[in-house]
């Protein structure tokens, strides 16, 4: 008999309490994906403020170990504007687009089986605890501007402050991309600082490559998780950004800001 992720006790998680023994963190991208695909999940708790079941724990092979997030399809909350059981695939699609841009906004993520069935497994990123997110998201930083472009491409309907993870080394990750890739304009974000401003030259170059990739291998990869219409609309959003060469502005037909914002 299969179990639902809500069965049993729900606890807070102290990530510092993991003992990985002699195992080491993955040293590069290849080892990260090896760990995510083949590692054994040792779940310790649930993020209680997440709207969908989000379980956190360790993932280990004989030699590698890290912390991870596991979002089982069985724990997805039905939404009126997204088909049931598709959020994990949208998370993976966002990761594929992120990798194609070279910006590595989305942490390494895979779709695999877990204790509660198929789901998205993603490396946990320990953000810089000294960063004030409310102040950080208002800054004019290249990393945040790249994220704003990325969100326009994937049509991110939920870029909250808590979904932005600034790292101690200056890199900025984005997480929680389950409600992306709608065929309708649904961009909701805290990153409107550059609305209506010209896109950076470097971003335009990335979008030109992305346009080609979406008509090739990347498009075929996305078709494994999204409908053909959703992939086509992604291509059209990229084409529109290249045509206008400016950051999008709120449409007025959809709330521009996520709620709650953090």
**pLDDT below 50 — which residues of the chain?**
1-13
Q: Where are the domains of the chain?
A: 15-244
pLDDT at 88: 97
Phi and psi angles of residue 120, each rounded to the nearest 5 degrees, phi first: -90, 130
Strands 172-174 and 164-166: antiparallel
pLDDT at 79: 87
- The conformational region for residue 39 under phi > 0 = left, psi -120 to 50 = alpha, else beta, is beta
Q: How far apart are CA 199 and CA 204, in angstroms?
A: 7
Least Cα distance to 94 among 86, 102, 78, 105 occurs for 105
Report the predicted TM-score, pTM, of the whole model to 2 decimal places. 0.92
- Residue 14, judged by CB atoms within 10 A of its CB (0-12, 13-18, 19+), counts as exposed
> Distances from the Cα of 205 to the Cαs of 117, 162, 201, 209, 244, in angstroms?
39, 29, 6, 7, 14
Tokens of 32: 């990260």
- Residue 34, judged by CB atoms within 10 A of its CB (0-12, 13-18, 19+), counts as middle
């Amino acid at each position: 008999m299969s179990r639902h992720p809500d069965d049993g006790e729900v606890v807070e998680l102290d990530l510092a309490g993991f003992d990985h023994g002699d195992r080491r963190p993955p040293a590069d991208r290849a080892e990260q994906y090896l760990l995510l695909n083949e590692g054994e999940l040792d779940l310790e708790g649930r993020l209680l403020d997440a709207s969908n079941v989000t379980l956190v724990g360790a993932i280990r092979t004989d030699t590698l170990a890290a912390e991870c997030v596991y979002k089982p399809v069985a724990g997805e909350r039905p939404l009126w504007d997204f088909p049931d059981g598709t959020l994990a695939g949208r998370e993976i699609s966002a990761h594929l687009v992120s990798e194609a841009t070279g910006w590595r906004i989305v942490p390494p993520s895979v779709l695999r089986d877990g204790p509660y069935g198929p789901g998205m497994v993603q490396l946990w990123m320990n953000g810089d605890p000294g960063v004030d997110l409310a102040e950080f998201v208002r800054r004019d930083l290249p990393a945040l501007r790249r994220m704003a472009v990325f969100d326009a491409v994937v049509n991110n309907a939920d870029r909250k402050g808590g979904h932005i993870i600034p790292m101690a080394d200056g890199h900025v990750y984005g997480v929680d991309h389950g409600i992306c890739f709608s065929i309708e304009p649904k961009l909701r974000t805290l990153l409107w600082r550059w609305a209506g401003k010209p896109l950076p030259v470097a971003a335009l170059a990335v979008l030109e490559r992305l346009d080609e990739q979406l008509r090739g291998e990347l498009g075929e990869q996305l078709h494994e998780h999204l409908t053909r219409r959703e992939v086509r609309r992604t291509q059209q959003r990229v084409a529109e950004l290249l045509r206008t060469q400016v950051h999008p502005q709120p449409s007025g037909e959809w709330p521009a800001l996520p709620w709650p914002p953090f």
